[in-house]
C-alpha cells in the first residue's frame, strides 16, 4: 500500500515532545507539562452531572447539525457577549473546531485556492489546507503589529481578478502560539477588506473568554457574512469531549449541512448535552481563567530571571511565546534538552513557523500554579549552569 500525496503533511511536533514527556514520566521522572495547549482542569462539575444525566436518560442517537437547544443557547451567547442577533439555524455543532476547519475549507475553497494566514500560526491551518489541496499563503508578522496581520500586509496579497490573489483569509485572535490579539479596528479592517474583495473571512475565536484585560471581538460584529470557528476545548476546559461550533452565513447553511451530513453525520451526543451545561458554568470557568492569569504573571516575572526576556504580547489564550534566538537557533534540540535535563516540556518554534523565526519556545501555562513556580526554579538553575 502507498500513502496518498495529500497525507504527506507536517506532523505536530508538540505530540513528539508530549509522547517523550509521557515516556519519561512512566520511567519515574518528574515532568512539568507546558507543551500541550490544553487546560489541566476537567470540565466543571455541572457539566459532568449533565453528561451523566444525559447518558441515563437519552438514547444517544445522532443529533444532526446539533441539539436544537444547544444551537439556540449558542445563538443567545452572541446576544449576551457581542450584542448580536444570530439565528440558531446559522450555528452548526462540530466535533471540536478541528472538524469546523475541515468543513469550512471544503465548503469555501476549491482545489488550488490560496488562503492567507499570518506566521507564527497554529500548525493545523497550513497542514489541513495542504491536505485539502489548497495553498496556504503564509504572511510573516512582526513584533510591530503584535504578531498579527495588518491591513497593509494583506492588501498587498489581494489582486482583484488575478489568479495569484487570495481566495480567503484566516485569522485567530487571541492566537496560538503567541496569545496576541488583534485590536478592534485591526480586526474590523481585515473583515472589511475581505468583504470588499468578496473573499471569505474565517475567524478562529477558540480563545475567546481567555483574555487578560482585553475584550475579544467577534468578526461577526463587523459583517455577518463571515465564518466563525469556535470550540468548547479551551475556555470551557473540554478538549477531549470533541465539541465545538461554527457560525456560518445564511446562504451557506445548506452547503455546510451537506458536507457535515456526509463527513460526520453528527457530533458526539453526550458532549452536546455537556456543552449545553458548560454554557452556564461561567463562574467555575472564570475561576480557571483567574488561575491562568496568576500563572501568566508568575511567568512574566520569573522567566526573564532564567534568561527568557522577549515575548510576544500575551494578551489572551494561555501561552507565552519566548524568543530564544540569543541562546540558539535550534529550538527543537533546545526543547529536547530542556525536557531530558530538567523535566520541563515545552513546544519548539518549528511547529509554528519556518526558518530563523523558529528560534522560539511556546510555554503553555494552563496547568497548576505550583508547577509553574517549580518550572521557573528549574529553568533558572539550568540556564545559570
Residues that bind ligand PLP (CB under 6 A): 37, 96-98, 122, 172, 176, 204, 206, 231, 233, 239, 244
Residue nearest to ligand PLP (CB): 96
Q: How far is the CB of 343 from ligand PLP (least distance, A)?
A: 23
Q: Could you tell me if 53 and 270 are in contact, meaning their C-beta atoms sit under 8 angstroms apart?
A: no
Q: Which residues in the chain belong to E strands, given as ranges? A: 32-33, 91-94, 114-119, 135-140, 168-172, 201-204, 227-231, 244-247, 319-323, 344-345, 347-348, 360-364
Q: How far is the CB of 341 from ligand PLP (least distance, A)?
A: 27
Torsion of CA 302, 206, 147, 182, to 10 degrees: -110
Q: How far is the CB of 122 from ligand PLP (least distance, A)?
A: 4
Residues with Cβ within 8 Å of residue 179, at least 6 apart in sequence: 207, 312, 313, 314, 315, 316, 317, 318, 319, 320, 321
Q: Give the integer Cα–Cα distance in Å for 320 and 362.
A: 6
All three cell numbers of 50, joined, read 449533565
Q: Of 107 and 171, which CB lies nearer to ligand PLP in the complex structure?
A: 171
Phi, psi angles (nearest 5°) of residue 121: -135, 165
Q: How far is the CB of 236 from ligand PLP (least distance, A)?
A: 10
Q: Of 170 and 306, which CB lies nearer to ligand PLP in the complex structure?
A: 170
Q: Of 204 and 315, which CB lies nearer to ligand PLP in the complex structure?
A: 204
All three cell numbers of 44, joined, read 466543571
Residues with Cβ within 8 Å of residue 177, at least 6 apart in sequence: 120, 122, 312, 319, 321, 347, 349, 351, 352, 360, 362
Q: How far is the CB of 76 from ligand PLP (least distance, A)?
A: 21
Q: Of 93 and 375, which CB lies nearer to ligand PLP in the complex structure?
A: 93
Q: Give the integer Cα–Cα distance in Å for 165 and 345.
A: 40
Q: Of 317 and 379, which CB lies nearer to ligand PLP in the complex structure?
A: 317
Q: Of 75 and 202, which CB lies nearer to ligand PLP in the complex structure?
A: 202
Q: How far is the CB of 382 from ligand PLP (least distance, A)?
A: 27
Q: Of 17 and 206, which CB lies nearer to ligand PLP in the complex structure?
A: 206
Q: How far is the CB of 94 from ligand PLP (least distance, A)?
A: 8
Q: Of 104 and 379, which CB lies nearer to ligand PLP in the complex structure?
A: 104
Q: Of 237 and 358, which CB lies nearer to ligand PLP in the complex structure?
A: 237
All three cell numbers of 165, joined, read 490573489
Residues with Cβ within 8 Å of residue 188, at least 6 apart in sequence: 217, 221, 222
Q: How far is the CB of 172 from ligand PLP (least distance, A)?
A: 5
CA dist 323 → 314, 334, 381 (Å): 13, 12, 19
Q: How far is the CB of 207 from ligand PLP (least distance, A)?
A: 7
Residues with Cβ within 8 Å of residue 329, at least 6 apart in sequence: 356, 358, 359
Q: How far is the CB of 125 from ligand PLP (least distance, A)?
A: 8
Phi, psi angles (nearest 5°) of residue 251: -75, -5
Which residues partner with 170 through β-bridges? 117, 202
Q: Could you tell me if 330 and 355 are in contact, meaning their C-beta atoms sit under 8 angstroms apart?
A: no
Q: Of 15 and 265, which CB lies nearer to ligand PLP in the complex structure?
A: 15
Amino acid at each position: 500500500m502507498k500513502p496518498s500525496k495529500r497525507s504527506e503533511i507536517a506532523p505536530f511536533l508538540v505530540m513528539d515532545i508530549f509522547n517523550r514527556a509521557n515516556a519519561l514520566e512512566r520511567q519515574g521522572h518528574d515532568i512539568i507539562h507546558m507543551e500541550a495547549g490544553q487546560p489541566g482542569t476537567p470540565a466543571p462539575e455541572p457539566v459532568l452531572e449533565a453528561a451523566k444525566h444525559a447518558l441515563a436518560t437519552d438514547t444517544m442517537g445522532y443529533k444532526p447539525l446539533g441539539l436544537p437547544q444547544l444551537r439556540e443557547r449558542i445563538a443567545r451567547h452572541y446576544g449576551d457577549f457581542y450584542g448580536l442577533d444570530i439565528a440558531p439555524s446559522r450555528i452548526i455543532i462540530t466535533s471540536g473546531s478541528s472538524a469546523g476547519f475541515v468543513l469550512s475549507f471544503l465548503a469555501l475553497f476549491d482545489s488550488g485556492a490560496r488562503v492567507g494566514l499570518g506566521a507564527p500560526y497554529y500548525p493545523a491551518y497550513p497542514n489541513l489546507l495542504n491536505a485539502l489541496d489548497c495553498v496556504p499563503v503564509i504572511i510573516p508578522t512582526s513584533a510591530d503589529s503584535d504578531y498579527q496581520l495588518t491591513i497593509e500586509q494583506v492588501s498587498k496579497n489581494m489582486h482583484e481578478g488575478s489568479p495569484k490573489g487570495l481566495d480567503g483569509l484566516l485569522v485567530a485572535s487571541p492566537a496560538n502560539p503567541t496569545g496576541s490579539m488583534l485590536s478592534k479596528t485591526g480586526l474590523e479592517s481585515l473583515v472589511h477588506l475581505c468583504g470588499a474583495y468578496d473573499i471569505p473571512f474565517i475567524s478562529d475565536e477558540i480563545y475567546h473568554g481567555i483574555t487578560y484585560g482585553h475584550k475579544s471581538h467577534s468578526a461577526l460584529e463587523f459583517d455577518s457574512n463571515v465564518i466563525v470557528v469556535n470550540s468548547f476545548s479551551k475556555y470551557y476546559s473540554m478538549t477531549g469531549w470533541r465539541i465545538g461550533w461554527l457560525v456560518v452565513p445564511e446562504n451557506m447553511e445548506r452547503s455546510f449541512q451537506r458536507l457535515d451530513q456526509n463527513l460526520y453525520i453528527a457530533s458526539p451526543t453526550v458532549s452536546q448535552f455537556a456543552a449545553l451545561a458548560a454554557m452556564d458554568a461561567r463562574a467555575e470557568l472564570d475561576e480557571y481563567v483567574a488561575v491562568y492569569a496568576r500563572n501568566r504573571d508568575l511567568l512574566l516575572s520569573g522567566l526573564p530571571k532564567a534568561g527568557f526576556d522577549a515575548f510576544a504580547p500575551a494578551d489572551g489564550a494561555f501561552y507565552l511565546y519566548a524568543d530564544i534566538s540569543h541562546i540558539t537557533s535550534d529550538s527543537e534540540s533546545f526543547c529536547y534538552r530542556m525536557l531530558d535535563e530538567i523535566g520541563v516540556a515545552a513546544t519548539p518554534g518549528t511547529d509554528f513557523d519556518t526558518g530563523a523565526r523558529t528560534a522560539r519556545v511556546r510555554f503553555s501555562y494552563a496547568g497548576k500554579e505550583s508547577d509553574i513556580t517549580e518550572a521557573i526554579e528549574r529553568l533558572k538553575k539550568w540556564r545559570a549552569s
